Amino acid sequence: MTPEDLALLQALDPALPGIALLADAETVLDIGYLRWKPGTSLVAGVLTPLGPGFLLCAAPPARAKVDKLVSRAPEGGVLRHDPGRRAVLARPAADRDLPGLRRLPGEATQVLAYKPQRRWVGRVAEPGSSPAGPVLRLYRKGLLPGTAARWPGPEDAPFRIPRVLDLDARRSCMATEHLSGRPLLDAAVDAAERREAMRALGEALARWHARPAPARAATGRTGIVAAHRQLLRLLPDEHRRLARLAARLEHLERSRTDEGRVVWCHGDLSADQVLLGNERAPGIALLDWDRSGAGSPARDLAEADAAGLDDGGDGPGLPEPLRAALLEGYERRAPLPRGLSAARARACFVRAAEPFRRALPGWPALMRARLDRTETLLEELR
């Protein structure tokens, strides 16, 4: 995130002066995650000289959140406290919403993902060895039961899925097996191999979508109205365009013409969730089923396209050769779902705030590029 990006965020919410702490290059080396409640609070996942951490800053009515975090943090958990700006920079062990983090040996932990107050994913190793054993997934209280219920088993799946090994309700923790393989986005994977992997993914998805979703897979998803509200806060000068796009998408939602089938969707499909197989474990693998659930078969294909290559700064959407390979693989097993074009536009709009959530440099321009793409996709439907 650039200084200009931070200055814009501060201007959007003057009730949160603690945002300025993100600009301190001595204590914040990088920003990887943002969650903003305008006029109330901002939580940032950051990298500090001591490893992963988080910043919490609050508006005056929410000052108690900061004070409580500081008073209850374990020794060494608070890295910086600025009471005047109602902000605290802390280590993960101070995250009160993920109490299981206090019991992890930080010096022997490999952090795979951390969204403060929401989720932590990592592996723990014996001192002096490389991380081994299962992947540990810690969740905010109340999220584990639904996540565990929606996580599919690997039995009869047309791709590899991490098996759930253990659940600990007290710590709100789930252990899943660690799958071997090369990430699809690994720099060593050449363009031809990547296209073939996308064809294999499309074919496997078609086979997976052939089965109906069980009742336990029921879930909601981020809606157009919620996305519109968030985008309006981040890009207030785009209010006319946002209203027009949201109205068009809601109309399509009401009159959609897909086949009405409900299947078990991955729910957050993107290229960075795909592992290529190897001699020990052949076949592709799909990781991170936290947001899986029931939905239209068009959903996974549309969201994979909207996510692009890990929602990086190279532009919205999958590169056309990879998108074509994904659809070609799907059509080897089943016709493309009706309503796919409308689903692509919807997914692009709903994910338009992702550059902000991931604190990507130049996030306002990246978000506008996603709105441009949404407009283009909607024009193609006319």
Q: pTM for the full model?
A: 0.90
pLDDT at 107: 57
pLDDT at 105: 66
DSSP string over 135-159 = EEEEE-TTSHHHHHHHSPP-TT-SS
pLDDT at 129: 59
Q: The domain 182-379 belongs to what CATH superfamily?
A: Aminoglycoside phosphotransferase (APH), C-terminal lobe (3.90.1200.10)
C-alpha 47 chain-centroid distance:
18
| Domain layout of the chain by residue ranges | 1-95, 97-178, 182-379
Give the C-alpha separation, 291 to 301, whole Å. 15
What's the average pLDDT block by block, 10 residues per block, for the chain (382 residues)? 92 96 94 95 96 95 94 94 96 92 73 94 73 86 89 88 93 92 90 94 94 74 87 96 96 74 88 87 91 89 88 71 96 93 94 94 94 95 78
Say how many CA atoms lie within 13 Å of 173 toward its Cβ. 19
Which of 346, 329, 368, 94 lies closest to 225, judged by CA? 346
**Buried b / exposed e along 162-201 (16+ C-beta atoms within 10 A):** bebeeeeeebbbbbbeebebebbeeeeeeeeebbebbbbb
DSSP string over 174-201 = EEEPPPPSEETT-TTS-HHHHHHHHHHH
Give the C-alpha separation, 224 to 344, whole Å. 13
Name the token pair of 297.
């078969």
Which of 53, 59, 166 lies closest to 115, judged by CA? 53
Q: Which residues contact 56 (CB under 8 A, 6 or more apart)?
A: 18, 41, 42, 43, 65, 66, 69, 87, 88, 90, 116
Which of 3.30.450, 3.40.50, 1.25.40, 3.30.200 is the CATH number of 1-95? 3.30.200
pLDDT at 56: 97
